[in-house]
Structure formats: C-alpha cells, structure tokens
Amino acid sequence: MVSIIIPVYNTEAYLRRCIESVIGLQEQDWELLLIDDESTDNSGRICDEYARQDGRIRAIHQKNSGPAAARQAGIENACGEWIMFADSDDWLDEQILSILQEHQRESEANIVCCTFVNVDEKGKKAHLPYFKEDYIDCVTAEECMLHMHRTRYLTGSPCTKLFRRSLFEGIDFCKDVTIGEDYSMIVQLAQKAQHVRLLNRELYYRFVRKGSISHMGYSQRHRNAFDNYMRVRRELILKYPDLRKDIIGFHTEYEMAVITAMCRNKNYDRTVIRKLKIDLRENMRLTWTNTSIPLYMKVCAWLIAYPTQLFICLFRILYLWTGR
C-alpha cells in the first residue's frame, strides 16, 4: 500500500482536480491523506466530502502550521509502507504509481523519481530538459548530491517521488520554514536512501500560477528560508568538499530569488541584502566558471553583488512590464 499525502491550503478552485487524479490512478492499492492546514475557503469541506464518499480517503484538519508540518502530520497518520506527496493544485498522471512501483521492484531503490511538466493558467506546457537514458541509478549519497546540485536531475520537490516510509524516521521537517523546506527534506532523505532511481518519464503535472509562493513579495518567510539555505549549504560543503562549486552554484540561484521577492513588493531587507552581496562577491569566480549556471543568471549575480540598485531598478521595470 502507498500513502499519498496532500497538504491543502486555500486551493478550492483546483483541489477536486487533484483528488480526482488520485482516484483515477491505474494502481488502486493506496490511501489518500488530505491534510487541511486550516483553510479559510471551502477546501476543508471538499476534503470532508471526498472522505465521506471513499473509505480510502481521510481528511485531517490541523491548526495553520505550513506545508512542512502538514507533511509531517501525514507521515504520522500514514498506514502505507511507501509514501507519495502531491500539491493540492497539481495533478497526477494515471500511470505514475504503477510505473514508480514497477521500477522500485526492479531496482530495489529506496526512492524512485519521475519528472514533471509545468502547466500555466492558460494550459501551456513547459517540459524540463532531462537526460537521454531511460533511467539513472544513484547508489551513494554523494552521487545523489551530485545529481541534485550539478545535473539538477534530482529535484528538491517531494511531489515526483515514491519514498520508503522508514526513511522519514529522524528527519527534520523544518516546520519553522515555509519556503524551501521541501528541498531541505529531500537533501536528508536522499542521503539516507543511498540508492535513488531517476526516471526519464513525465508523470506529474505542476500547476504554475501567479498566486503561488514563488510569485509573492518578500516577507519574514523569505528571511527564514535564506537562513535555512545557508545552513544547509554549509553542512553539505563540509560533507562533500568535491561538490563545493556545484553546491554554491545551486544556492546562488536561491539567493537571487530572495532579492527578486523584495523587488516585487519593495520590501528591502538591508541585513539580508548585505549578506547576499558579501556572499556573492566571495563566490563570484565560482559562479562565472560554473557551466550549470545560465549566462543571464551570472550577470544577475554580478549586478546584485556590485551595482545592486541598478539590478533593483531593472528588475522592477521587468516586473511591472511582465508581472513576473
């Protein structure tokens, strides 16, 4: 049995689509846990409605605590040997569970991952660049971290993966962090798993909308996320010094996401900006020699590190023009 866990918060417009995609899976040996994080719209009632209709579905209501706490509550209430996650505004391919289980039995991996398709509000799909092989097996913790921070084939999203439940024992869910907490969780799980299989199959549909966290302005949540990223980066570099360049390059992109959030709502955290500038300057050589980082991102890093006000002005113009 697989326990599918969906944190739910104010997504009444999309929640039915997500739940129906679970009900429509080819593989039917599952339970669905809907963790309502004190939604203020009709999401909680929708969860209860489906729980009454189908005995495999349970609705759990908790005080608003964020997605990490919702995932932890799901794990604590799960009955399955295997765990899957989905976001409540996304949906699943009908074959995702059967294909992931098939590859798990074949490989005996402790985590099996597929990839996802981004779908915007107009239905336009964006496909991620991926490897040519049918699958890649990562058989050491360092190999997992390489594919997370260099090739980026192992994503920080929990929603495209089948996990052995026992991996979650002793995991820090980072409940005080509400942005990037999923990345921190996957870093821990991948290191514990050792054997991770990456599939070249698009089996998950991720809905990209303007109201999502990634499109919002800066808040205390971003500052908490920034501090958490820096903590994780330090720990990873100590463990995997040969991957230092890749780890710093990966986190540089997250650092820039912090200042772009500030630009969206003109909420400039001077302390964080100062830390950003110092860090980007110290690692500028690594950034420019890292082939995994696109050229435009390298230019942005230089602009933030030195003529910071110029970057802010340029991004504000871009944001006002495109709304992104």
pLDDT tens-place string over residues 56-90: 999 999 999 889 999 999 999 999 999 999 999 99
- What would the pLDDT profile of 294-324 be if each residue is shown by its tens digit? 899 899 999 999 999 999 999 999 888 876 6
Is 180 strand, coil or helix?
coil
For residue 175, name the pLDDT band (cuts at 50, 70, 90): confident
Alpha helix (H) ranges present in 137-269? 141-149, 181-193, 220-239, 244-265
The tokens of 250 are what?
């990966």
pTM, whole model, 2 decimals? 0.90
Give the model's pLDDT for residue 212.
54
Average pLDDT, the chain: 92
Top-confidence residue, 255 or 46: 46
Distance CA(214)–CA(212), nearest Å, equals 6
Residue 119 phi, psi (nearest 5): -125, 125
Distance CA(202)–CA(92), nearest Å, equals 10
Top-confidence residue, 248 or 320: 248
Nearest to 275 by CA among 311, 226, 315, 312: 226
Number of neighbouring beta carbons within 10 Å of residue 183: 22
Burial 149-166 (b: 16+ CB within 10 A, else e): bbebbbbbbbbbbbbbee
Task: Compute the C-alpha angle 163/131/128, nearest 5°.
Answer: 80
Half-sphere exposure of 96 (CA within 13 A, CB side): 29
Distance CA(315)–CA(264), nearest Å, equals 9
pLDDT at 214 over 60: no
Task: Give Cα separations from 194 to 137, 164, 187 (angstroms).
Answer: 10, 12, 11
pLDDT at 213 over 60: no
254 contacts 156 by C-beta, under 8 angstroms: no
